[in-house]
Amino acid sequence: MDQNELVDRFPEMKSISSVPPLFTFNGIGLDVVGRRDLDMETGTYVKTHCLVFLLLPLFSFGAYRVADDPNSNGWFFIGKVPLSPLAKGWNLLIAALLVGSFGTFLWRDYHDDPRRQADRAIAALETRVAEEQWLDAVRACRDIHGSFGFVEGVNEQLKEILGPVLSETFPGLPPAEQLVLFKNLVDTRLLLDKEIFAREGLALAHRLREAQPDQAFLVIRALRTADAENQILAEMEQAVLLEWNRRDPANPEAAEMLAFQARDAGDPGRVRAYLEPAKDQLGTREGAWVLAQILLENGESQAAFPLLNDYVTPRLPEISAAATAFERQWQNFTERQLQLLQNGHGPEDFYRKLEPLDEAGQQLLVQNYINKGAEREPTLKAARQRLEKANELVPAALELGLLHMDQARARVGDARTESLQAAEKTFLAIGGIMGDNQQYRLFLGQVKYWLGREKEGRALFEAVVAGKARDDLTLLNVAAAAREVGDVTWARSLCEEAYESATLKANGYSAAYLRSVLATDLEDKIHWLDLADPENQQVRISRDETRASLAMRAGDKVRARKFLQKALKGYGEPGADVTVLNNAALIWRQLFGISGDIEELRKAAALMEQAIVLNPSDAILLTNTAEAMRELGVAQLLEAELDLRVFSESLELDQLDYLITETYGPAELRKDLAANDYLTKAVTYWERSVLLAPKNQKPYDELDSYYFYMNDVAGLTRLRQALGTVKLDETGREQFLAMSMSGTYPEHILKGRAAAAQEMNEAMADSKTRGSLTSVMAACSLSSIQRARALMGEDVDDAQVLTLSADAYRKHPSLATLRARINSHYFVAHRRLIKTVPEYAALFAETKNTLSEGRLLNTLLAADHPLAARIHADPDVRKAAELEWDYLSRWPERAGLMGWAVHHKQDPVKAARFKEVLQANAMRDVHEDVVSHMWGGFPDTVLRRVAWCHFKGESAQAKILVADARKAALPIPEL
């Protein structure tokens, strides 16, 4: 179809001389879009020429009838046609929007002109002034000054409006309204006449001074902001501040300002005087830390605790978060810088300097480069500033953690755990800042030990040692800390290592002395004292004390007393030195051991209690004091009937069994124990010692005895729980077990036994004590000594052992003498069975002298061993059974497992009675568990537990115990 025909067919179409411009870039430009008015005969249709944005049409310029080009994706443009109504409407809408936007812009430019805005605000301000809305007017003036003060002439207009408000209106207002208005005028003082502002402010301060000194102070403080050098204002400010504090001493703001003035003047007394009345209001204010430091310096830790707790605890998250944030920012920054350097994006001179350096030099250069860059990094600078602010709280947090530890030392149960957890939380919060600090790690390690997490505590202690490359001073510090928590074996090895590695003679001396304090025996102590400083007074005194102990062991009391008096003289007046008080007290205890003069023991106890007041958290001191109190308590109960000179070295709770007779039973003894102040104190100190030195066995052993005597099931249960969380230091027990198994005993032990036997013989022969309780106890003690000597391989007269205990019982029938008789018969039977029954002898040989008398035969009886019949046939076993029944009949609550075992399978009725009594005694099972925890590594304890399992019908468990003991190389026979 030719052009004319097309014109005739589409009369609205006009011819065109060229195609419309078409181009787009990233979807933006001129393009033809759409497809309408398709003519099937000609194959043409209409497309609209538009401005497009992301290929979307924004504005239409024209419409064209086109035909598709079969050879491309383009079109043949036939002619121009009118726009569609939709396109025209869209164009009108776009045009309207453009005009409207431009008009809005022009209007806003006119309306938002700062000058016009200021004029409108000033007009509103003048309306408020006219309506005498003074407060709103002043606030509006402040806002206009802040928003439009840069506009020319605005500040001058504000001065003209505000000036009369201050000079004419303000003086006539009531003081309350003046105060509110003045506080708002302060923010506009640059617009006010300086002299008028000062005059009216002073007048207001004078009016407020009497009734509201705090508000008067704020007024003067505002005046001084405008005139800082005005001495009259400074003097008045101080006078008003003093008046404010006088009227309201509990106000923390006034108290703190005056306290800080006193601190700057170096007057801690006045600091305390100002802050103490406001202590409950200080909270997280700096004054709380200032006052707490003064109280701590004066030893008033209890008063300092609430201040530190309120000051630090709410801010612990702040400390922890600051440390974490800085560490993260530093790590990220370091990684980025290293990446840049590795990719070659560092300064050229950096690489020139780097190339010739060795590895250490290169590392130093890189670190210096990173450090310099860190100083300019904004985010890192902000994190560092936050960390520095948090760091200011660390000394206070450390003190709070120590106070929590002190509280834990004096508490028990849940209260103690709560204090320890609070201490741990406090220490952990500052860990990001203090993490590598040696003392910090030792404190946190102690808390871990006390919480029963021994492995964590030990790991912290070991980290301290490793961090300082095992230098001698660090080894000594860790050894002292390990000693305090009862880890004595490790403490010894650390001391020895410190001594060997000491670079300074003084450090070697210190290591030797501390090692002497941790001695395993007297010879070990003397050895290390000889390596300590010979010129040191304490070392010389300790040598004299140790020589006195050696003399006592040899039975030379005269020589021992001479050494002790010399040592005591060396201390002079103990004063307020904890170590001197403790050591002098120990000497008084030893002097009592020689003389039996109870006043000397009282002196020892008094000195120790003085030391505890000064240092209530020293576990060793607590244990020493508890032992002295126990000795005093036992002596007080026995002194009426006992010559203390004979037994002054061994006043144990079990000696009170001599008081239990037909007329004075265990219940009466419990009442007297409960009423004894010395024993009550002893228990308190032992319980605290368990918490502070959880690895030390001595306090557990003592508490087990006391709770047993008191029939205190709850106390024993607590003890069992405590033992379940700790591994006791077993060095001494392991050495004793090894010595027993070897059958070879040091000469001093053998001589000591002989000397003790001689002393008991002399007590029995002494006409003053013959027939008295002293003679009876001496006979029983001698019987026990002879049994022990027999176990060590010495020749002993079995008949004498029986006679001694029988005579003691005849003279003084009591629980103790009857038990001594029973044990003597077990001893003689045991010795006879070894000689007459080869199978029994073979079993005992496997135990290598590690069992007490009667333990093996009673275990065999409890287990219904094939040898049981032959054991029952022994006359002394039958006599022991008879006495066990008598024992049960008199004091059933003290009946033991041996009584059941010796009747088992022989007399079912009596055995049933024993079982009934033992099962009814709730304390017995817990007590057996405690003994097993404390002495589980001893063959005697294992067999005791085996017999207990048979009693409860747990034969399979008994076999497991024996098998486990044999695997652990304990000398236990296959039963």
Does the pLDDT at position 687 exceed 80? yes
> How many angstroms separate the CA atoms of 897 and 742, rounded?
29
Structurally, what CATH architecture does the domain formed by 537-698 represent?
Alpha Horseshoe (1.25)
Backbone angles phi, psi at 431, to 5 degrees: -65, -35
Helix (H) or strand (E) holding 390: helix 378-391
For the segment 559-585, the average pLDDT, to the nearest whole number, is 85
Q: b/e string for 271-298 if b means 16 or more Cβ within 10 A? A: bbebbbebbebbeebebbbbbbbbbbee
* 211-220 pLDDT tens trace: 788 887 777 7
The residue among 134, 113, 112 whose CA lies nearest residue 125 is 134
Does the pLDDT at position 135 exceed 80? no
> How many angstroms separate the CA atoms of 763 and 777, rounded?
9
* pLDDT at residue number 503: 86
Strand partners, 44: 39, 67
Does the pLDDT at position 131 exceed 80? no
User: Going by C-beta distance under 8 Å and a sequence separation of 6 or more, which residues neighbour residue 646?
Assistant: 596, 759, 760, 763, 769, 774, 777, 778
What is the percentage of the chain residues whose pLDDT exceeds 90?
36
Does the pLDDT at position 885 exceed 90? yes
Q: How confident is the model at residue 166 (pLDDT cuts 50, 70, 90)?
A: low
* pLDDT at residue number 372: 85
* pLDDT at residue number 314: 92
Does the pLDDT at position 698 exceed 80? yes
* pLDDT at residue number 882: 96
SS3 (DSSP) at 65: strand
Does the pLDDT at position 944 exceed 80? yes
Helix (H) or strand (E) holding 64: strand 56-68
> How many angstroms separate the CA atoms of 456 and 699, rounded?
23
Most confident of 395-399, 826-830, 893-897: 826-830
User: Going by C-beta distance under 8 Å and a sequence separation of 6 or more, which residues neighbour residue 660?
Assistant: 666, 669, 814, 815, 816, 891, 894
Does the pLDDT at position 169 exceed 70? no
For the segment 760-776, the average pLDDT, to the nearest whole number, is 80
Contacts of 709-714 spanning 24+ positions with Cβ under 8 A: 709/653, 709/656, 709/666, 709/669, 709/670, 709/673, 710/670, 710/673, 710/674, 711/666, 711/670, 711/893, 711/923, 712/923, 713/922, 713/923, 713/926
What is the percentage of the chain residues whose pLDDT exceeds 70?
93
SS3 (DSSP) at 936: coil
For the segment 934-957, the average pLDDT, to the nearest whole number, is 90
> How many angstroms separate the CA atoms of 461 and 467, rounded?
10
> How many angstroms separate the CA atoms of 955 and 959, rounded?
6
The CATH class, in words, for 116-311 is mainly alpha
Does the pLDDT at position 860 exceed 80? yes
* 529-564 pLDDT tens trace: 999 999 998 899 899 989 988 888 887 888 989 998
Does the pLDDT at position 2 exceed 70? no
- Amino acid identity for residue 803 in this structure: T
* pLDDT at residue number 184: 65
> How many angstroms separate the CA atoms of 198 and 241, rounded?
19
Q: At what angle do helices 301-312 and 394-409 cross, to 10 degrees?
A: 130
For the segment 34-51, the average pLDDT, to the nearest whole number, is 88
* pLDDT at residue number 693: 83
Q: How confident is the model at residue 610 (pLDDT cuts 50, 70, 90)?
A: very high
Structurally, what CATH architecture does the domain formed by 436-534 represent?
Alpha Horseshoe (1.25)
Q: Flag the least confident range among 39-48, 278-287, 749-758.
A: 749-758
Backbone CA torsion sign across 428, 429, 432, 434: negative
Q: How far is CA 784 from CA 287, 817, 885, in A?
A: 66, 11, 22
* 253-268 pLDDT tens trace: 888 888 888 898 889 8
* 359-379 pLDDT tens trace: 888 888 888 888 888 888 888
Token readout for 557 is 């009391």
Average pLDDT of the chain is 86
Q: How far is CA 946 from CA 908, 918, 972, in A?
A: 21, 16, 11
Does the pLDDT at position 412 exceed 70? no
* pLDDT at residue number 11: 85
Most confident of 138-152, 231-245, 269-283: 269-283
Q: Flag the least confident range among 85-94, 460-469, 791-800.
A: 460-469
Q: How confident is the model at residue 388 (pLDDT cuts 50, 70, 90)?
A: confident
Does the pLDDT at position 72 exceed 70? yes
User: Which residue shows structure tokens 């005791």?
Assistant: 944
Does the pLDDT at position 956 exceed 90? yes
Q: How confident is the model at residue 134 (pLDDT cuts 50, 70, 90)?
A: low
DSSP sequence for 594-636: HH--HHHHHHHHHHHHHHHHH-TT-HHHHHHHHHHHHHHHHHH
Q: How confident is the model at residue 162 (pLDDT cuts 50, 70, 90)?
A: low
Most confident of 36-45, 274-283, 733-742, 764-773: 274-283
> How many angstroms separate the CA atoms of 400 and 820, rounded?
54
Does the pLDDT at position 108 exceed 90? no
More confident residue, 881 or 247: 881
* pLDDT at residue number 728: 81
More confident residue, 942 or 203: 942
> How many angstroms separate the CA atoms of 475 and 463, rounded?
11
* 24-38 pLDDT tens trace: 888 889 999 988 888
Does the pLDDT at position 188 exceed 80? no
The residue among 63, 53, 60 whose CA lies nearest residue 24 is 53
Does the pLDDT at position 193 exceed 60? no
